[in-house]
Amino acid sequence: MNQDYRDGPRRVGQVKEITSLTNPIIKDIKALSAKKSREETGTFMAEGLKLIIDAMELGWSIRTLVYAKAAKGKPLVEQMAAKTVAAGGLVLEVSEKVLSAITRRDNPQMVVGIFQSQWTNLSDITLEADDTWIALDRVRDPGNLGTIIRTADAAGAAGVILVGETTDPFSLETVRATMGSIFAVKIARASEQDFVTWKKKVSAYLVATHLAGAIDYRRIDYRKKPTVLLMGNEQSGLPETLARQADALARIPQQGRADSLNLAVASGVMLFEARRHLLSLSEDS
Ligand code: SAM
């Protein structure tokens, strides 16, 4: 990211005041709306003070804190600004016009953070007995992905594995939809082949969901081994190559005229069912 402030933002202590949309720092932050720029810089944007406080408590590394003039002097904002400076980050005080441009919103949040992205390596994932992971085959919709990350967090799952070409978990839209859970849930990515190899290596119990699944999802014993749930792509569902790797093919029985459930809804049903089994196991013991 460009750290050259040639157009001279005014310095107040360690805070830089910026009102110009053409300032190079602001241009760089705006560029984070593109995946290419997020990948090149290894950073992404999260909006809202609560989210930023949570992220910093969870140990995420902040690069830049941006707040609106109107938020100046608020104790929590000042605290976050001090922590950002202490961590070697940049603090920017900007006009509402600049915040709107950065977040692409008419009524932007007062505080925005630029964080370093964090991926979990698939090879570092070792499954514990009561772990549940959810793997998503070629998920396309940022809203679906964000909702699934949020739901995985709420259900107590360990993390989300993105299989194949998927939408970016660190896009603004996905991060928004996670409502902060992006900072609480591990995210890994893998090609289809690497995912299959890993599944065999860690001896996961792979429960794949399929509209033509042979087993009612309520009849599966999720306590056999650490479970990995596998969900199919929004348009085409699960390919045969992945379905063949499953230890169980689960179906959520439906009524009415709908062909299928929305991917995020189906993921929620599966996650809470799998976790319910594991929680009843710990209550029994
Ligand atoms: N046209 C696609 C198909 O034929 O599979 C529909 C895909 S559906 C919108 C996306 C994913 O949600 C599916 O691949 C599956 O993982 C899950 N899903 C949706 N409804 C389901 C159901 N009733 N039973 C099991 N899985 C379901």
Least confident of 84-88, 149-153, 221-225: 221-225
- Provide the whole-model pTM: 0.93
CATH 3.40.1280.10 boundaries in the chain: 122-284
What CATH number matches the domain at 3-116, 3.40.50.11540, 3.30.1330.30, 3.40.50.2000, 3.40.50.300?
A: 3.30.1330.30
Does the beta carbon of 242 lie inside 6 Å of ligand 1?
no
Instruction: For residue 238, give the ligand 1 atom closest to its CA.
Output: 14
Per the CB < 8 A criterion, the answer to whether 82 and 1 are in contact is no
CA nearest ligand 1 atom 2, residue: 237
Determine if ligand 1 sits within 6 Å of the CB of residue 171: no
Question: Radius of gyration (Cα) for the chain, nearest Å?
Answer: 21
Distance CA 274, CA 220 (A): 9
Q: Which CATH architecture best describes the domain 122-284?
A: 3-Layer(aba) Sandwich (3.40)
Task: Please state, in angstroms and rounded to a whole number, the distance separating the CA atoms of residues 8 and 30.
Answer: 19
Beta bridge partners of 45: 114
How would you classify the pairing of strands 111-116 and 62-68?
A: antiparallel
Which ranges in the chain are annotated with CATH 3.30.1330.30?
A: 3-116
The two structure tokens encoding residue 2: 């460009």
Task: Return the pLDDT at 73.
Answer: 94
CA gap 135, 65 in Å, rounded: 32
Give the torsion sign (CA, 180, 151, 35, 57): positive
pLDDT digits (tens, 9 = 90+) for 64-89: 999 999 999 999 999 999 999 999 99
Span 181-201, pLDDT tens digits = 999 999 999 999 999 999 999
